[in-house]
Amino acid sequence: MAVFGKRLREARKAAGIPQDRLGVLIGLDEHTASARMSRYETGTHQPPIQTAQLIAQQLSVPLAFLYCDDDRIARVLLKLKTLNERDMVCLENWLEEKFGVTDPR
């Protein structure tokens, strides 16, 4: 199973949303929604980035989570999503001070 499919299934199940319902929520036809979501989860097809963004929004996960191949980083991404802006700034500053981590751009 491709990374996207693995993460999609994980997030969808955690949200308690069936494949067909998620498909309809992101705008897929109700008659094909379940099959299309199944293809995304099994890695048979990769969704366009716009569709992946809609999926991430419906599942309340960062888009990066759906493409993250490292389990630990994926867990961190989910935790980061829960932080407010002030806490994100504090965390970013702490990472820079504690570990010398800076923006690589």
DSSP label at residue 44: S
- Per-residue confidence (pLDDT) for residue 53, from 0 to 100: 99
pLDDT value of position 1 = 66
CA dist 47 and 9 (Å) reads 14
Radius of gyration in angstroms for the set of CA atoms belonging to the chain, rounded to a whole number? 16
Q: Which tokens in the block code for residue 84?
A: 């407010």
- The single-letter code of the amino acid at 98 is K
Instruction: Please tell me the total count of domains within the chain.
Output: 1
Say what the pTM is: 0.88
Calpha distance 62→66 (Å, rounded)? 7
The pLDDT assigned to 101 comes to: 78
Print the domain residue range for 32: 3-99
- In tens digits, the chain (105 residues) has pLDDT values of 699 999 999 999 999 999 999 999 999 999 999 999 999 999 999 999 999 999 999 999 999 999 999 999 999 999 999 999 999 999 999 999 999 877 776
Q: How many CA atoms lie within 13 A of 16 on its CB side?
A: 0
Any domain includes 104: no
In a domain, 105, yes or no: no
